[in-house]
Each structure stands twice: as C-alpha cells, then as structure tokens.
Amino acid sequence: MQTALRALLLLLLSWCISQSPLLPLLLQHIMRIPNVALAALLTIAVILIGLCHACSSPAQMKSNIDALLANSSFGLFRTTPGVYVQQLNITTRTWKDLYTLRHLEYHTPASNNKVLTTAAVITALGPNHVMHTPILGTGQTPNEPLLCIKGSGDPSMTFAKLQAAAKSLAQRGVSSVSSLVLDNSLYDPSFPLGWQWEDLPYYYGAQPSSFILQENVMDIQVSPGNNVGDPLVITYTNPTDRSLGLVRTSLSTTSAAGTPSTVDVSWRVGLPNIFVIGSMPLGSSPTTIPAAVINPTERFSAMLVTALQGAGITINSVSIGSCQQPNNPPVTELIRIDSDSLGSMVNHTLQVSDNLMAEIWSRYLGAIYGGPGDATNRGLSAVSSILSGKLGVPASSFRQRDGSGLDYGNLVSPQALIATVKHMGEGPYAAAYKSYLPNSYPGGALYSRFRGTPAVGRVFAKTGYVSVVSSLSGWVDSDKLFSILLDQSPVAASTRKRVIDQIVLYIADLCPMQ
C-alpha cells in the first residue's frame, strides 16, 4: 500500500511539473527528504492537487490579453495601450515575440523612463562607482585664506557627511577660513523644461543641482495656530532651515475645530520660497510635509557653514563662484566627500522612483561625456549614445526629454524598454540590475499587487504613473520579458493597475518554451 502511494505521489509530481512552471523546485526539495512517512505523503498529495494547474500556451495568453483590453467594464476604449511580451526558448536560447500591440509606437512612459537612464549609467560606470565632492584649499593652517567646495551633484549627500568633512578639516589644523567659495559650475540649478510647475514644491519635484543635500527636500511640521484665522505654524527638522526662512505661511489659515484640513504646499514662480497653503482645524494634530527646496545652493551653503562652525572653524565670507578664478590663490584637494556606491543609489532610484536621482544620472553622464548644449541636453545625448552604442537599443525607439519621466514629453516604445531590460539581463551587471528593480517577493514593492497569486516572487519590474499614464516593464522569472504602457487613459489609475497586473498574471502562467 505504501509503495503504491509513493508511486502515485511521483506520478502526480510528474504531471504537475509538465503542466506548471511553478513546481520543479518543489520537487527537488521534496525528493531530498528521506523516508517520507505515509501521512506526509498524503498531505503533500493534497497540497499538490491545489497547487497544480495547467499552464497556458502563447495563443491562450494572446486571447486572454485581447479579451481583457476589449472588456468594456474597464472603459479602456479611449486608452492607447502598448504591450510587448517576449519569451526565451530555453533550448535554443533565443527570444520569441509572443504578443505585440503598438510595441513600435511612441508612448508616454512615466517612470519607466528611469529604466533607460539607470541602465545607461550602470553600463557606463558600473555599480561600484563613487562620486567625489572635493574640498580645495591652499593647505595653510590654522588660517586658510580660501576654501572651495566643488559640487558634483552627489544625491546621497547628507548633513552628517558635511559634519564629518568639517571635523576632518579641523583635524588637519584649519581653524578659520577667510573666504568660502561654492563652485556649482558642473551644472547650474535648473529644472528640466518639461516639468510641470505645480509639481515643483513637492519632494518628487525637487530641483536637480550641483549641490544637493538631503535630496533637496526639507521636512516641515505644520500645526494650527492658537486662534481661528491665525496663519498655520511651521517647525523645521533642521534649525538652519528655520534661519533661512525658506517657507512662508501667509497664504494659510487656522479654521474652526471640526472642519476638514486642506493644508498643502505651493510655489510662486520666480520666488525663492515654498508656501504653505490651505487650512487646518483648530486643535488638530501636526502634520509633516516633505517640501522641495527652491534654492538648493544657498541652502547647501548655509548647512556647510553650520557644519564648519560646529567643528570650531570660523568663516569670514561665503560666495558662489569658481575655484579657479585668476585672483584666487592656487588650491589643491584637501579632502573629498564620497557618495554612496552608484549601485545602492540606483537601487534607491528604482525602488522609490526617485526623480531627482534619475535626473542627476543623466546630467552626470553628460558632464563626463561632454558635448554641446546645457546639462540636460548633454545628459540626454549621453544616455542615448550609451543605450544605442553599448546595449543595441534602437536610437529611434525612444526620445527622452528628462532622465526621470516626470516630463510628459518623453516618448518611449515598448520595444525600447524590452531591449534595454533584455540587454541588462545579459550583461556583466545582470544580477545587480535585476535586484534594483521592484519585485514581488514578500516585502517587495510589488508584493501587494501580486499577493496570493502565482506571480509572488517572480516579477521584477519598474512601475510608472503620471496622471493619465500607467506602466510596468521588466521580467517574469528569467525567461519572460514584458512592457505594458497604458497611455492617454481617462480611467482611474487603480483600474489601469488592475489591467496591467492581470496581463502580468497571464504572462506568468505561460508554459516554458522549449
């Protein structure tokens, strides 16, 4: 009887493996267990009956996707979808197109644009690359006539790093500085031309610049005033921000208790301040708002002075200029502030969809590769050259206007995204780059979207969302590539996400290709 049950179990396992791509690993682990008891065999059999399901053919997947996109309940008839699915033949090691819908056409990619930018910077520099922010001086102590810090655009710069640098200078014997100069010539602070002005006061619209501190974002705590009609009260996390007066509350008010809160932040074009607007009810609890810094170089300067003074170094004057002006004394590097590794920063960029970092990668490449035009255009040219020259992505398959995807003028085809992901998956940094993408493992950024489905732990993909666009591009397992862009869609973002996720589940259900 026991022998018969063992045979039945093996037969059931064999059938499951032939029908589903999910169970080979399970079989390996089960067959390593010696002397499996009869009760355990029965339990496993019951579990397998629930787990096993027939995988689908490419024709079934295509039919399912077509029916989904045509389903009137989703209201997608005004949406412009772009869908591209490829699968690897595990015997011939060649990729085959399984589904194509407007895959050669341009679509607004939203944050899928970051796939192009991050792939270019990792390909060009490698995940171990470190950015250096040098502090230059004459080396005279204790009275240093000139101290100059040259901005590198390091987006991992923190106040703690400035404090450590100030402490190092003090240990070298510097106790006073006649002139502190900040050189922001790498690229002037500027927004990409296509960024929407209403995004700029928010953390996700922080300004790219040569000098970045805490990602050019400040946390402000907003509370109601003491009386109805009073402006709202703000408290800064960093006292230096308070001294700079970066936030105004003149457009806010304290409302009557029990009324809804409408507090928000805004910006007035041409002014160097963020405005807290709206109202908070009297007696309500404080709320914290991460607001963008409109004047990043000035804020960096103030924070650096605070750090130097905290280390016992006095500063006589501060200016923004060049480290190599003719009337300046010759300077050499005294110390440097190193960034986090490029790999860890790109991981952060993709996991949280960090617009500032993505824009910096583009500009940083532009500074390295050079060329005509401003920092943004040089960067976009550099990204395009790397993708087309080193990764084989057709240059005509995309047109970037920024590094992040916040610009609605970006135009990218599913073909470009799949080509980029595919080549990154075959290159020297394949494992690293795949790990940078959001994933559907428990705890991963995509887990909540695929929890309770066969796609758990199998999806590695970049998300994207701006207004009427939702996107997702990446891998299912290591043999299925996809890019899904739902463009110009008037339906709710939650509906678009449901459609995209269902397409991914159809892809995950594919039988292995041999």
Count of CA atoms in the C-beta half-sphere (13 A) of 189: 20
Q: Identify the residue with better confidence: 510 or 326.
A: 510
pLDDT-derived band at 271, boundaries 50, 70, 90: confident
pLDDT at res. 104? 98
- How long is the chain? 514
The per-residue pLDDT for range 27-63, each reduced to its tens digit, is 444 444 455 554 454 445 444 444 455 799 999 999 9
pLDDT at 21 over 90: no
pLDDT at res. 328? 77
pLDDT at res. 23? 45
pLDDT at res. 197? 87
The per-residue pLDDT for range 403-452, each reduced to its tens digit, is 999 999 999 999 999 999 999 999 999 999 999 999 999 999 999 999 99
Q: What is the mean pLDDT of residues 477-500?
A: 96
Q: Identify the residue with better confidence: 508 or 47.
A: 508
Tell whether the torsion through CA atoms of 165, 167, 173 and 175 is positive or negative.
positive
Q: In one letter, which amino acid is 85?
A: V
Q: Please report, to the nearest 10 degrees, the dihedral formed by the alpha carbons of residues 444, 446, 449, 450 taken in order.
A: -70
| Neighbouring residues of 168: CB distance < 8 A, sequence distance ≥ 6 | 335
Q: What is the mean pLDDT of residues 249-276?
A: 93
The per-residue pLDDT for range 295-321, each reduced to its tens digit, is 899 999 999 999 999 999 999 999 999
Strands 217-223 and 233-236: antiparallel
Q: What is the mean pLDDT of residues 276-293?
A: 96
Q: What is the mean pLDDT of residues 474-498?
A: 96
pTM: 0.88
Q: Lowest-pLDDT range, 67-76, 267-276, 389-398?
A: 267-276
The per-residue pLDDT for range 139-177, each reduced to its tens digit, is 999 999 999 999 999 999 999 999 999 999 999 999 999
- Tell me what the pLDDT averaged over the chain comes to: 90
Query: What region, left, alpha or beta, does residue 319 occupy, with left being phi > 0 and alpha being psi -120 to 50 degrees?
Result: beta
pLDDT at 324 over 90: no
pLDDT at 24 over 80: no
pLDDT at res. 35? 52
What are residue 466's phi and psi, to 5 degrees?
Answer: -145, 120
